[in-house]
Amino acid sequence: MTTIESNSPSSKLAVPSANGSDGKATGGRARAFSLSTIMAGRARRSYSVSSAYPPNSNPSLYLSPPRSSGDHTFSINADIPLPYPPGSSSLSDVTKLQQFSSLSVSVAQRRNSTAALRRKYEDLEQKLEATPLWVLVSTYLNYLILILYGHLRDILGKVFKRDEYAHLRTHDGYAPLVSDFDSFYTRRLYMRIRETDFVNSKNSMASSDCWNRPITGVASRTVKLLDRTSDDFNKTFSLSGTTTEAVNFASYNYLGFAQSVGECADAVEETVKTLGACSSSPRSEAGGSSLHRQLEGKVAQFVGKPAAIVVSMGFATNSTTIPTLVRKGCLIISDELNHSSIIFGARLSGASIRVFKHNNMDSLKLLLQEVISQGQPRTHRPWKKIMVIVEGLYSMEGSIVNLPALVQLRKQFGFYLYVDEAHSIGALGERGGGVCDFYGISPSHVDILMGTFTKSFGAAGGYIAATKDIIDYLRLKNHSFAYAESITPPVAQQILTSITIIRGDDGTNEGRKRIQQLADNSIYFAARLREMGFIVYGDEGSPVIPLLVFNPAKIPAFSRELLQRKIAICVVGYPATPIITARARFCVSASHTRKDLDYALEHISEIGDTLMLKVSRAARKKLE
């Protein structure tokens, strides 16, 4: 990635023009293979434009501290002592910017403030640090051994334990339900990671498999795990009846609204009493109620669009809306790391799909030039519509979309912009309004704002917000509206009340406090992890903080060690991430106290030493 410089304060949105690095980046279509791309150290990927980058002699290293102090507009509570020696860290700037985030400033004023004008993605961006060579080699070796060993077990098993492998063979005229090849990864790698540590289960320790851990109660600041054991190398589990309480760094409870007490729960209880728990019909038939209308109005108001609809499931919000907006003859341009629901919807739509490099606006620009000038494949007719679909905050990377540049491109090329704010709504921006709020860009620059209620609002379902024309059309054509159940009253009420609190409509400062607490927590946590020498992804301000563990063997080790110390996290490996960058993911919440974070950091540091995870060269350089 190149750092794009654009310090001219006069530029209107202070958008770093995506053609900033002209000349270099704006070459024609890249040649399929050229020596210079190899020389520059970039392997070509399957997308036609990705090798067209200007060769960069110094790629993927740590970003230098922000150039100006006004760039961060995160508000930090003054009464919380900052843990950094002033002046030594990039965050020392943060203290200065409290002057920018006065509570008395109105939304419009803030949007037009100097701070908003000068906010740029480049200053929030944390460069993805390259993997050290020996880690890379050892990880690949690690996988090689696992795969060889897996095949060895398969070969021997198929000879000596025919019965256990029966499901992989054609039997009785039925083809196997899962093919041998497809399930190899699941059987030989996933299952091993999920495998219960033998010693642990003998000592009746907390169950130590790493995924699908069952819980009970509310997944809020802490989470109660149901202990389980496995006697058959975790093909099956049995619950032991005991529970373990652990600090929760896994749930997407960004603003801490997963609660069984408090204002939301009270309102929901009242709603269940009066309205029941179900609406028993699709919205288009007889399942729509005044509560839904009220909710939709509130959501539209909250995200800053004229109208909105709500759908009973977050996944379905994407998968049933995208096919109604685009069809054959249209083009969807999608970020390579977009969520499965977007891919699902895009495939259903029948539109052509092209992919650009993650959050890389140069790649997008080149692709746009190519597709618009070339038109549809074979016929070369112009595309009917082009829709660019991105996420606000990527849950696996913690990266925040470069919206200013995208908006600039949208103006230049005239495509439609669809932003999935599943993770960013509530979690980003000074009033929790998502990426638009975060960058101070008017939501009118984005055609479709989509988001879910599962995360920040502690509810379920999703919304689409857009102009009234689009929403009216979706009310008629969205699959969920015609065929699926509508949002149930208790869930609708939870969303309504939590939005009321976030917006401060209830007259309290509660929502603002939560937003600030979340911003504090995420910046603090990520900065401390970086300081310790871990390789940490995620842009500044992201409440999702991935910490790279690389080797497959370290995935379960890290997760189990943390669970023993009563810290619950998610670990993610291939295929959810590239094979090399397996990671542990921390989701910071407003309900975490500084004490929780420090407790976790202390133990993470300890385990990081044991597992040799502190491999960041950037951090070491900084220390020197």
Partner 1 sequence: MVNSDRPYTVDDNVRFINSTVNSVYELVALIPGSDIIMNYLKESYQHDPFRVVLELFLVFFAIKYMLAKRYKPNDNSEINELVEEWHPEPLVPALSSFDRMNLEKTPVIIGPQSAKPKVAGHTKPLLNLATTNYINLVSSEQIKEKAISTLRNYGVGSCGPPGFYGTIDVHMDLEKDIARFLGTDECIIYAQGFSTISSVIPAFSKRGDLLVVDEGVNFAVQKGVQISRSNVRWFKHNDIEDLERVLEEIRVDDLVHKKRLTRRFIVTEGLFANYGDIAPLSKIVELKIKYKYRLILDESQSIGVLGKRGAGLTDLFNVNPTQVDMIIGSMSTTLCSSGGFCAGSNEIIDHQRLSGSAYCYSASIPAMLAVSASEALKIIQLQPSILTELSERMQSVRQTLKHKSMEPLIDIHSPEMDSPAPFLHIRAKSSFLKLHLKGEENEVSREDEERLLQDVVDECAYQGVLVTRAKYVIDQERHCPKPSIKIYATTGLTKKETEKAASVVKAAIIKVFGKWRRA
Task: Give, as ranges, the residues between 9 and 38 that touch partner 1 (CB under 8 A).
Answer: 26-28, 30-31, 33-36
Using CA atoms, how far apart are residues 255 and 267, in angstroms rounded to an integer?
Answer: 18
- Candidates 135, 218, 563, 588; binder of partner 1 (CB under 8 A) is 218
CA neighbours closer than 13 Å in the CB half-sphere of residue 43? 2
* Residue 565 makes contact with partner 1 by CB under 8 A: no
- Candidates 10, 57, 104, 212; binder of partner 1 (CB under 8 A) is 212
In single-letter form, the type of residue at position 620 comes to R
* Residue 58 makes contact with partner 1 by CB under 8 A: no
Closest approach of partner 1 to the CB of residue 408, in Å: 14
Range 172-201, binding partner 1 (CB under 8 A):
172-178, 186, 190
Per CB under 8 A, the segment of 156-164, 205-213, 423-431, 600-608 that binds partner 1 is 205-213
Residue 369 class from Cβ within 10 Å (0-12 exposed, 13-18 middle, 19+ buried)?
middle
Q: Which is nearer to partner 1, 8 or 290 (CB)?
A: 290
Q: Which is nearer to partner 1, 139 or 320 (CB)?
A: 320
Q: Which is nearer to partner 1, 314 or 541 (CB)?
A: 314
Q: Which is nearer to partner 1, 217 or 578 (CB)?
A: 217
Task: Tell how far CA 192 is from the center of its chain.
Answer: 26
* Residue 488 makes contact with partner 1 by CB under 8 A: yes
**Residue 419 host element (H or E):** strand 416-420
* Residue 277 makes contact with partner 1 by CB under 8 A: yes
And the tokens for 528?
């401390």
Range 354-393, binding partner 1 (CB under 8 A):
368-369, 372-373, 382-387
- Candidates 46, 57, 64, 170; binder of partner 1 (CB under 8 A) is 170
Range 324-353, binding partner 1 (CB under 8 A):
324-325, 339-341, 344, 347-348
* Residue 412 makes contact with partner 1 by CB under 8 A: yes
* Residue 312 makes contact with partner 1 by CB under 8 A: yes
Using CA atoms, how far apart are residues 404 and 365, in angstroms rounded to an integer?
Answer: 14
How far apart are the two ends of the chain, measured CA to CA in Å? 25
Closest approach of partner 1 to the CB of residue 296, in Å: 11
The total number of residues shown for the chain amounts to: 624
Cβ neighbour number for residue 3 with a 10 Å cutoff = 14
Q: Residue 464 forms beta bridges with which residues?
A: 309, 450
Range 119-148, binding partner 1 (CB under 8 A):
none
Residues 6+ apart with CB under 8 A from 125: 63, 399, 402, 539, 540
Range 501-540, binding partner 1 (CB under 8 A):
none
Using CA atoms, how far apart are residues 463 and 422, in angstroms rounded to an integer?
Answer: 9
Q: Where are the beta strands (DSSP E) in 330-410?
A: 331-335, 352-356, 386-391
Output the CA–CA distances (angstroms, integers) from residue 551 to 222, 548, 558, 581, in the order listed.
28, 9, 11, 8
**Residue 462 host element (H or E):** strand 462-466
- Candidates 49, 189, 258, 601; binder of partner 1 (CB under 8 A) is 258
And the tokens for 452?
């879910």
Closest approach of partner 1 to the CB of residue 342, in Å: 10
* Residue 284 makes contact with partner 1 by CB under 8 A: yes
* Residue 233 makes contact with partner 1 by CB under 8 A: no
- Candidates 100, 143, 302, 315; binder of partner 1 (CB under 8 A) is 315
- Of 188, 62, 584, 285, the closest CA to residue 180 belongs to 188
Range 91-110, binding partner 1 (CB under 8 A):
none
Per CB under 8 A, the segment of 124-132, 138-146, 406-414, 524-532 that binds partner 1 is 406-414
Stretch 445-474: interaction string toward partner 1, x if CB under 8 A: --xx---xxxx-xxxx--------xx-xxx
Using CA atoms, how far apart are residues 101 and 122, in angstroms rounded to an integer?
Answer: 20
Q: Is 143 left (phi over 0), alpha (psi -120 to 50) or beta?
A: alpha
- Candidates 280, 509, 593, 610; binder of partner 1 (CB under 8 A) is 280
